Structure 1
Amino acid sequence: MKKIYFLIILFCIINISYSQWVKVSNGLPKQKVVALTTKGNKIFAAVGNSGVIVNNNNSGIFLSTNNGLNWYAANNGMQDTNNVSSLITCGINIIAGTSKGFYKTTNDGLSWYQSNNGLPSNSPINAMSVNGATIAACVSATKVYISTNEGSSWFYASSSLPDPIYCRSIAINGNSIFFGTEYTYQIAGRGIYKSTNNGISWFTVNNGISNNVNILSLAANGTNLFAGTRENGIYLSTNDGNNWKQVNNGLPSESGFSVLAINGTSVFTGTGGYSSLYYGIYKSTNNGANWFAVNNGIQFNSLKINSLAVNNTNIFAGTADNLYTTSNGGTNWFIASDGIPGCTRILTYSSIGTNTFIGSYYGYGVYVSSDYGINWNQINNGLPINFINGYILASSNAYLFSGIDGSGQNGYGVYKSSDNGANWIAANNNFPVNTYRTIIACNGSNIIANAHNWGVYISTNLGISWNAAPIYTTFNIPASCFTFLRNKVFAGTNSTSSTGYGIFSSTNNGTNWVTSSDGIPTNAHIRCLSVNGNNIFAGTGLYTAHNGHGIYKSTNSGLNWFAVNNGINSNAEISFIICNGLNIFAADLDRGIYLSTDNGENWTLKNEGLPAFYLLGALGVSGNYLFVNVDGQELYRRSISEITSTNPISSNVSYEYYLSQNFPNPFNPSTKIKFEIPETPLSPPFGKGGIVSLKIFDILGREVAILINDKLTPGSHEVDWNASEFASGVYFYSLIADGVIIDTKKLVLLK
């Protein structure tokens, strides 16, 4: 667009120094790595759903060219990046099996296209194997398809097989194709099948294999063929599948063996399948005669192995929550997932001194950081791990407490640590241990906890013993949050009962409760409570059918409440409120982080630097940093002083939007970007006081950073972009006003 520059006016260039949200997930679990393949010095990893909230931008296929030190997304052209099940290398091609058939790339992931000629539309791919130009695949779980031209076309190769049949694994060894079945959903056709004529005919090769065995994995090494099963360990055939024998010396008997990989004379297998017990990776150097565990460096929660791949002397293992590599045959493993999105759903934060703690979801436990999130370490000694949904944290004095969401399993409840989480002990005296959703809060020596299916309990001696403190004696009301105002405790509920909704308070440690909901809409879901001086704030909202979205405030100890939503969306789902001095932060599940500096009278979004997200998670404060969990995956932090700093704005303004070229350019790792915001623009967009965004995009047009997304006063502004966490390359930045792209310029990061 044509740019009309300012009249002869002296401008004051204001350095806004907008801070950005910075990802701080080093040491936290990553996404589930479901498939791996290699091509020369390139490693491809398929990253999929880990049971957490998944943003499709954070799943799919990732590429590394430096043995896993760094990864970047390589998904251009793929329709459903969250459902890649398998990967193979075939000549110069990489082929991906997905829920919608095959995708193929001839340029190492720069672009993908569907390659389904001869395949039924939208056919999910379960497994693949390759030998030269021949590819065999399990399709729609019940059919075998074969390609003899590197995936350009496919033909049906199941006409001689029983129907139905469930194909779980497949391998090619010379002229023979083998596939293993799983009998869970079938009556006939169990075991291993073999074809020597590209699938025209098949016959069973099960001599020595027990009946009703599920074949989870297959791998060939010269004349040796290995089969991993769910029930009976591993079988070996030395004569092209004609005879089999068990080779389980050293293997655990309780786990299935879902993956196999061969590196020279070494055979590796990973435990997985549908077993609830996982033991990691095992290795054999004598064709399976003996096996030994090789898990040094692999975390406890990563012992379910989804994929294995070999690249020269390097071996890669994709687990339920991370990617590991070894260069010494499995003696030591190291995390190799920088650039792969995380999968940590964080429930709560707490802090003691300079230590920051997070309670995670899905059994990952508790993590601690002594450098405000730069690095994290698991601290689960003494905590229950199996069958855990989450860990809720609170601290009091020098003690750290964890409420366990145990899905009704016995032996859980509240745990306590007096050494910054290094060791945990149960603190369940008179507390129901077969509970779940144990929410906890502290005030001096008083600890309050919600045992979801049992009601509220209070301890006045730092968790040594507990007393029941039911809100109602006639029926149980589960509390969703707590807070304290001096000697008064408040409980928010999510009940839809006409007598059980809203906020309750007690002045005698839960012996008696009274309703404190005057001004709160009927049936409002109280998601969070927070105190700032004499003010109490309540965050509400869950379903659109419920009343009371937004934030409510009480200035008289909960006697009355009134809405304080100026600047907040009318459908806001306020899940967390954090009070930090004069600053109040609120997390809206769908829209981001709000800030109020006037006790809730006005709110402003503060999302600069956050990626595009589907759902925000937990919000917390430690030191001078605000932390937020994005999409149940990555953890971000931002300096509170930077968020809340007041920036002077020039009173001399332009008549047009104007975006300057960044300086320096090229840069490493920081550069400055200047732009102008007019008071009354001479050309569209004509809006005054609208939202202005400054966004960074990679060379494929994907949004990688948001530097500004806020209402700005007219004038001259300058923002710094610190790209220390980004790879070298060409990027673009766009100035956007009221949804209209004003201008876009190129910048180059050279490291």
Structure 2
Amino acid sequence: MKKVFFLLAVIILSSIVFAVSKWQNSHFSKTEKFPAPSETIVLNKGDKEEKEWKEQLEREEWINRLHKTAPDADWRSIDQQTRYMNLLRKSSNTRSNIDTLANGFLTGFWKERGSVNQSGRIVFADYDTSSNAIYAASDGGTIFKGSLNGSNWTPITDHFNISGIDYLAVLNQTSSPRIFVAAGKYCYFSDDDGTTWTTSTGINAVTSWGDIRKAAVLNQDNENIYLLIQEWDYTNWEEIISIYYSQNRGTSFSKLVSYSTNQMGSINQHDFWADRYQGNTLYYIQQDRVFKVQGNVTQQIGSIGALTNDRSMITGTNVGGNLTLYAYIDQDIYQSINGAASWIQKANVARNPFRQNSFAASYSNANAVFFGGVNCARSLNGFSSWEEVNQWYDYYGSISDKLHADIPAVIPFFDENGVAKTFICTDGGLYISDDNLQTVENLSLHGLNCSQYYDVYTYRAQPQYIYAGAQDQGFQRASQDTADILGFEQTVSGDYAHIVSSDSGASMWFVYPGFAAYNDDATTGNWDVSGDFDGRGNYWLPPLCEHPTIKSKVYMAGDDPNGGTGAFIYELTANLSGNNVSYNQLPADVQALTGGQISAFTYSPLDTDYWYALMDNGTMVYSTDNMSNWNVGGLNNGPEAHYFHGASIYASKAKFGRVIAAGSGYSNPGVWVSEDHGVTWEQMNSGLPQTLTFMIDATPDDSLIFAATEVGPYVFVAKDSMWYSMSSDAAPDQRYWSVEWINASKTVRFGTYGRGIWDFSFAQESDTTDTTSVNNLSGLNEQFHVYPNPAKDQLTVQSEQAKLRKVDIYDINGRVVAQIYPTDNTTTINLSHLVKGTYFVHLHTQTEHSIQKIIKL
């Protein structure tokens, strides 16, 4: 979202101002990196809010294009139903260490890789006074539980992803605290701290069409919860806005009132607020009219008298028994101190809200009001005036006490001692303030592991280097591969994706919304040169493909830069001496053949004259002459092909002509395979649910094909011609966005959009000789030894270079049957108490690990 920049103006002598150079092809020098604020640049600062909102809309459009469906299909509902079925198949959210998956074809273990220090977006949070714990909901659909000082973060819903969370409340007025969540079209509650979840009843109509736009708890001692819902009236065929309420802590809801948007304005002109701790009244704004809701009775109590065309919001506070209400109408703030009977216009906040929960007032000071957009505004005088808590770019110089950009929610609350505090949710984690946002503290510096990655790439020659493109947490890099969950360095802020390399990660290309960048040494710095799209990018993050041999070149799919029709491939060249990136438009217009835009493309590694491209309208083209000419393939055959949106295309390393296409699979098969370069295609979706496949990769012999999908990781076993879920209790239920096979370590690495990077490492079969040098999973083939195998009463394990820290032995069901803590490089383990069968030996040094399969005689 944001290119990181900081306006550097140094006044020397009397009035000499050094201006920052204009944003052009090279935005940063090679050595600049965060968090040092003097090494960042800021330009066009006044356009930040407008640019941010444009990018947010473009991002949402891009996401929806990827999830292409038939008109009567709702991809979010389809995916959530799949997640719920997966939850029913899981026994609990406990994790075993060894997994046997895919009908017994895969054996290995899942491991979280990071990041541990780059939190993603937190959308809502609440505080449980009974346990002194924070519950924080991430944009990726995982709920975390932690301490009020920002420590001990633990995911409590890794087994059940709750997509689209907008509200979370911990209701602890009984002996059994309840976690209540409003998310998308559903509400859920859990009475056992997140282990099991039940769907609230009474709001079934919204699941067909619509959305829960806001939720609020009114005086939690009375157990009342209200919902503001966007629905559809199928009788009169019009959009309606409804309020639902529950009197049993969210177990069930009843409809209170409905309004037609034709008479009462769009959903953005409706909002409500309720005091969480006292009173019996919900305050509801409808355009500029204000109502009070008590029980199931609604009554208008005032009118602000302001014209509204865009957005209306309301918030309030009740300090010392005195009600103060605030309203937002098209960026103007209004105040009422007489129960909404009259209103005073106070100030223009000069921004739109980031989300519905971004407007709040303090529980301790009726004049303290907060409004979150890209930055967060703070007023301590009832919005007679206001100031920024900090500028978004201040974060990079002081991460611990400056807010990250983008404020989904500001949440006042009382702690266990009755002290008023405030949570601030951002795109970079969760913050807290105890002085009405005069100061803030970052609670997500370590352990709130909700990184949102679009893409992950591992440097093959030096696999300790892992690169990641994140949602609003920039381009990230890990440089030390330890046994722990890794910390990542954010080299530059913003949104980055489509990481490609012609030399396996020594150098690198990637895209940001607006430009492509090249880093000649990907292990350091951020980039050497970059070049703006200038209208060429047809997607928010347009697809890239590496050049087969030349590292300083890359190919990008785009459209006509002059605004005309067309779908083209551009060859980009990094000119290090000229400090720029040049664009060369290849002559072939693919849109003229198919009518679509290129959504993914690649080449055959067996003959780089052969290129393959997927289109956004369900078609496919191929070239046999290095993209000079294109031919229409046969992927568009079939009655529902036009609902297929290609997201990933894979050309086999094992068989020339084999191509696999993957993408949206809600109203049609989501994966297809061709054995003749795309001339003819067959469905390849047996075992795969209706969902979107973001990316595919495979082992060198195509025996295993891996898919990163909206509803989890999948593997296609060629021997069985079937897709299998790789989900288990050891891996989070998440949106898996990227996948790569790392052959040296026999590991498949997934990037998720909410829980960071996860590896599945394969167990290797040991030789049945007395002494075995095991082909272990970390790629250190000569460092670990396990012998004899098969073994009868004793087993010797050895690490050649480092002292063994721990050895675990698991049975075939993943249960620990022995655990040893050696004091040297070699140790002997007694197996006489074990029954005959198959076991797994997991060896740990301080920095490496290996897992081996043995037979006990």
**Same-fold call, TM cutoff 0.5:** yes
Using the alignment, how far apart are the partners of 1:593 and 1:44 within structure 2? 33
Match of 1:231 in 2: 330
Following superposition, the deviation at residue 114 of structure 1 comes to 8.3
RMSD: 6.0
Alpha-carbon distance in structure 1 between the residues aligned to 2:535 and 2:259: 62
With the length of structure 2 as denominator, give the TM-score of the two structures.
0.55
Contact 2:217 2:224 in 1 (8 A): yes
Question: Residue 475 of structure 1: SS of its match in structure 2?
Answer: helix
* Distance in 1, Cα, partners of 2:352 & 2:360: 17
For residue 617 of structure 1, the aligned residue among 737, 746, 771 is 737
Q: Residue 469 of structure 1 is aligned with which of 567, 586, 599?
A: 586
Give the structure, 1 or 2, with the largest relative contact order (CA under 8 Å, sep 6 or more): 2
Q: Flag the structure with higher helix content.
A: 2
Q: Which residue is equivalent to 1:636?
A: 758
Aligned to 1:391: 497
TM-fit CA distance, 1:592: 4.5
Residue type at the aligned position of 1:368: R
Letter in 1 for 2:696: F
Determine helix, strand or coil for the equivalent of 2:777: helix
Aligned-pair distance for 1:214?
Answer: 1.5
CA change 1:546–1:593 in 2 (3 A) is closer
Counterpart in the other structure of 1:294: 389
- Matches of 2:192 and 2:226 in 1, distance apart? 25
- Aligned residue number for residue 284 of structure 1: 379
- Which residue of structure 1 aligns with residue 477 of structure 2? 368
Structure 1 equivalent of residue 71 of structure 2: none
CA distance in 1, matches of 2:316, 2:378: 15
Q: What's the offset of the Cα at 1:179?
A: 0.7
1:577-618: CA deviation from partner (whole Å, max 9, x where unpaired): 3678x99974234685769999x9999998888526576431
Deviations 1:432-491 (A, max 9, x none): 355553323133243222226522222466574333335567935637232475993442
Maintained 8 Å contact 2:687/2:724: no
- Quick check: 1:530–1:577 contact (8 Å CA) kept in 2? no
Distance 1:322 1:261 in 2: 21
The answer for the alignment partner of 1:456 in structure 2 is 569
2:242–2:259 contact (8 Å) kept in structure 1 = no
Contact 2:570 2:585 in 1 (8 A): yes
Aligned to 1:346: 454
Find out whether 1:192 has 2:259 as its counterpart. no
* Counterpart secondary structure, 1:260: strand
Contact 2:673 2:681 (C-alpha < 8 Å) held by counterparts: no
Q: Which moved more, 1:83-92 or 1:446-455?
A: 83-92
Q: Equivalents in 2 of 1:496, 1:487: separation in Å?
A: 25
- 2:602 corresponds to: 482
Deviation, structure 1 residue 131 = 3.7
3-state SS, counterpart of residue 374 of structure 2: coil
Tell me whether 1:181 sits opposite 2:285 in the alignment.
yes
Q: Identity, % of aligned pairs? A: 12
1:672 matched to 2:814: no
- Residue 333 of structure 1: which of 441, 456, 474 is its match? 441
Residue 317 of structure 1 aligns to which amino acid in structure 2?
I
d(CA) in 2 for partners of 1:634, 1:231 = 37
Q: Distance in 2 between matches of 1:359 and 1:474?
A: 29
Structure 1 residue 374 displacement after superposition: 1.2
Partner of 1:703: none
Instruction: Give unmatched runs, 5+ long, in structure 2.
Output: 1-105, 207-211, 230-240, 560-565, 763-775, 794-804, 817-835, 847-857
- Once the two structures are superposed, the pairs formed by residues 69-84 of structure 1 within 5 Å of their partners are 69-72=151-154
Counterpart Cα distance in 1 of 2:159 and 2:750: 31
Q: Partners in 1 of 2:375 and 2:734 — Cα distance?
A: 33
In structure 2, distance between residues paired with 1:391 and 1:549: 24
Q: Deviations over 1:501-556 (max 9, x none)?
A: 4643436xx4x35779999x99997944468699797444555967984696x9xx
Superposed, 1:209-228 pairs within 5 Å as 214-222=312-320, 223=322, 225-228=324-327
Structure 1 match to 2:61: none
Does 1:24 pair with 2:141? Answer: no
| 8 A Cα contact 1:606 1:643, kept in partner | no
CA distance in structure 2 between the aligned counterparts of 1:370 and 1:90, rounded to whole angstroms: 44
Alpha carbons 1:347, 1:391 under 8 Å: kept: yes
1:133 matched residue in structure 2: 221
Residue 260, structure 1, aligned to residue 368, structure 2: no
Distance in 2 (alpha carbons) for counterparts of 1:418 and 1:226: 56
The superposition leaves residues 549-574 of structure 1 with CA deviations (integer Å, 9 ceiling, x where unpaired) of 4696x9xxx899999x9xx9787979
Matched to 2:518, the amino acid is K
Return the letter of the residue paired with 1:370: S
Give yes or no for the alignment of 1:168 onto 2:271.
Answer: yes
Distance 1:476 1:449, change over 3 A: farther
Distance in 2 (CA, whole Å) between partners of 1:395 and 1:327 is 47
2: CA distance, partners of 1:332 / 1:280: 13
TM-score (norm 1): 0.62
Against the structure 1 CA distance between its residues 333 and 293, is the aligned structure 2 distance closer, same or farther, given a 3 Å change threshold? farther
**Residue 96 (str. 1) matches residue 180 (str. 2):** yes
Say if 1:271 and 1:304, in contact at 8 Å, map to a contact too: no
One of 431, 434, 439 as aligned partner of 2:544? 439
The amino acid that maps onto 1:85 is: Y
> Is 2:516 the partner of 1:414?
yes
Are the equivalent residues in 2 in contact too, given 1:31–1:341 (CA < 8 A)? Answer: no
Q: Is the 8 A contact 1:180 1:217 kept in 2?
A: no
Secondary structure of the corresponding residue to residue 248 of structure 1: strand
**In the alignment, what sits opposite 2:8?**
none
Secondary structure of 1:465's aligned partner: strand
Which structure 1 residue ranges, 5 or more long, are not aligned? Answer: 1-15, 184-189, 273-277, 407-411, 655-668, 677-692, 697-713, 725-751
- Evaluate the alpha carbon distance shift between residue 199 and residue 302 of structure 1 in structure 2; reply closer, same or farther with a 3 A threshold: same
**Contact 1:413 1:432 survives alignment (8 Å):** no
Deviation at 1:378, TM superposition (A): 3.7
**Aligned twin of 2:299:** 202
Whether contact under 8 Å (1:157, 1:199) holds in the other structure is yes
Structure 1 residue 262 displacement after superposition = 1.6
- 1:241-278 deviation per Cα after TM superposition (whole angstroms, max 9, x unaligned): 444323438x4345478331425348665545xxxxx2
Partner amino acid, structure 2, of 1:258: S
Q: Distance in 2 between matches of 1:210 and 1:612?
A: 47
- Contact 2:413-2:420 at 8 Å conserved across structures: no
Count of aligned positions: 612
Question: What's the CA shift string for 1:287-321, capped at 9, x where partnerless?
Answer: 44443322454665533336454534753223467
Q: Post-superposition shift, 1:403?
A: 3.4
**Partners of 1:428 and 1:175 in 2: CA distance:** 55
- The whole-number CA distance in structure 2 between the counterparts of 1:422 and 1:266 is 45
CA offset at residue 334 of structure 1?
1.3
Partners of 2:257 and 2:181 lie apart in 1 by 18
In the alignment, the residues of structure 1 paired with residue 341 and residue 647 of structure 2 have an alpha-carbon distance, to the nearest angstrom, of 65
Distance 2:754 2:186 in 1: 28
The answer on whether the counterparts of 2:568 and 2:590 sit within 8 Å (CA) in structure 1 is no
Q: Which residue does 1:8 correspond to in 2?
A: none
CA distance in 1, matches of 2:499, 2:488: 16
* Counterpart residue identity of residue 636, structure 1: W
Is it true that 1:304 corresponds to 2:408 in the alignment? Answer: yes
Contact 1:159/1:200, CA 8 A, preserved across alignment:
no
- Aligned partner of 2:422 in structure 1 is 315
Instruction: Return closer, same or farther for 1:91/1:518 CA change in 2, 3 Å cut-off.
Output: closer
- CA–CA distance in structure 2, aligned partners of residues 156 and 601 of structure 1: 49
- Once the 2 structures are TM-superposed, how far is the Cα of residue 642 of structure 1 from its aligned partner? 1.0
Tell whether the 8 Å contact from 1:595 to 1:606 is kept in structure 2 after alignment: no
Q: How far, CA to CA, are the matches of 1:230 and 1:434 in structure 2?
A: 34
1:400 to 490, 493, 508: 508
Report what 1:688 is aligned to.
Answer: none
Preserved CA contact (<8 Å) 2:403 2:440? no
Between stretches 458-467 and 100-109, larger displacement belongs to 100-109
**SS of residue paired to 1:694:** coil
1:173-218 residue CA offsets vs partner (Å, 9 max, x unmatched) = 96573513233xxxxxx432247x7675734234676677712433
Cα distance change on mapping 1:21 and 1:285 into 2, 3 Å? same
